[in-house]
Amino acid sequence: MPLRQFATLTRPKLGISACLLGEPVRYNGGHKESRLCSRTLSEHFDFVPVCPEMAIGLGTPREPIRLVGSPERPRAVGSVDSSLDVTEALQAYGARMAHELNDLSGFILMQKSPSCGMERVKVYSENGMPSQPEGVGLFARAFCEQRPELPVEEAGRLNDPILRENFVTRVFAYAQWQELLQQGLTYKAILGFHSRYKYQLMAHHPEQFKELGRLLGNIGSHDPNELGRKYFKGVMVALKRCATRGNHCNVLYHLFGYLRKSLSAADKQEMQHLIEQYHKGIVPLVVPLTLLKHHFRRHPDHYVAEQSYMQPHPEDLSLRNAI
């Protein structure tokens, strides 16, 4: 039995800082093209480029802006002419885009930008010295406050294979939930989603998985839309935590359990050996998973075939080859 395919799923739509796609929108007329985004991820996602600074009327080339004041509530002002203050404009644009771009399944932001940075953005004191702690870009903060469950990541952090795999996993989970919302939430749909994501949630956050199970324990006493909002918020909290090697091994052994009556002693020994090699960091996750998939092709199991964990994102992205 084949694993769940992505052919039936609409290509997820991602917001992205326009400079990351090579658009010449930076203050100096340049860009910060990310080949990961423009060449690799663009094969699987539809991008919606956004440049907050251009959108609020700043041209290019332009005087650069920077964050000044307290890290908690900085203002965005010109780095040369401090009378140029675009704080409210950036915040308002972020809040507006959060509502207008309601079909996004994720957002990739330019790191360290005073408008788009998620973290580590320099905030200057009135005397011109950078302060500690560092701040958050004003567009990014306003946008994320309105869309707290949406998967959001910085382009620079996506160079880390663990963070990249985590982000893409969250994007596809979000996109699948969006499809359920479009069809109309039912108790059956919520329980079906939870069933498919059982092992994915266990790999990321076993405690949260149990909490979600308790939430669904008396599902009939809640309105499905109200329950769905609370449930999916918990799902995204769980998936935001990067899966550990130990949790992956726990899930691999659970899945291996479905094969114990079907495999020979030699096959079982080989499977266990590869899981332990992964646990020790000798081989990447894709190695024991590939063998599991091989065995499940020979000994199909409908429940396992439906599990998101077996293929949470398109295989040709090769995201599990380096974790």
Query: Residue 24: pLDDT above 70?
Result: yes
Q: What pLDDT sits at residue 36? A: 97
Give me Rg for the CA atoms of the chain: 22
Q: What pLDDT sits at residue 90? A: 98
Q: What is the mean pLDDT of the chain?
A: 95
Q: Which residue has the tokens 């092992």?
A: 199
**pLDDT-derived band of residue 68, with 50, 70 and 90 as boundaries?**
very high
| Average pLDDT over every residue of 233-244 | 98
Q: What does the pLDDT look like over 112-154, one tens digit per residue?
A: 999 999 999 999 987 778 877 789 999 999 999 999 999 999 9
Judge residue 101's burial from the number of C-beta atoms within 10 Å of its C-beta, 0-12 exposed, 13-18 middle, 19 or more buried: middle
**pLDDT-derived band of residue 9, with 50, 70 and 90 as boundaries?**
low
Q: What does the pLDDT look like over 267-316, one tens digit per residue?
A: 999 999 999 999 999 999 999 999 999 999 999 999 999 999 999 999 99
Query: Residue 8: pLDDT above 90?
Result: no
Q: Is 124 helix (H, G, I), strand (E, B) or coil?
A: strand
- Among candidate residues 219, 280, 228, the one with its CA nearest the CA of residue 249: 280
Report the distance separating Cα 307 and Cα 251, nearest Å: 11
Q: What does the pLDDT look like over 170-212, one tens digit per residue?
A: 999 999 999 999 999 999 999 999 999 999 999 999 999 999 9
Report the distance separating Cα 30 and Cα 108, nearest Å: 19
The two structure tokens encoding residue 163:
């963070």
| Average pLDDT over every residue of 207-232 | 95
| pTM, two decimal places | 0.95
The two structure tokens encoding residue 203:
């790999």
Query: Residue 7: pLDDT above 70?
Result: no
Report the distance separating Cα 262 and Cα 308, nearest Å: 22
Q: What pLDDT sits at residue 221? A: 86
Q: What pLDDT sits at residue 4? A: 55
Q: What pLDDT sits at residue 2? A: 53
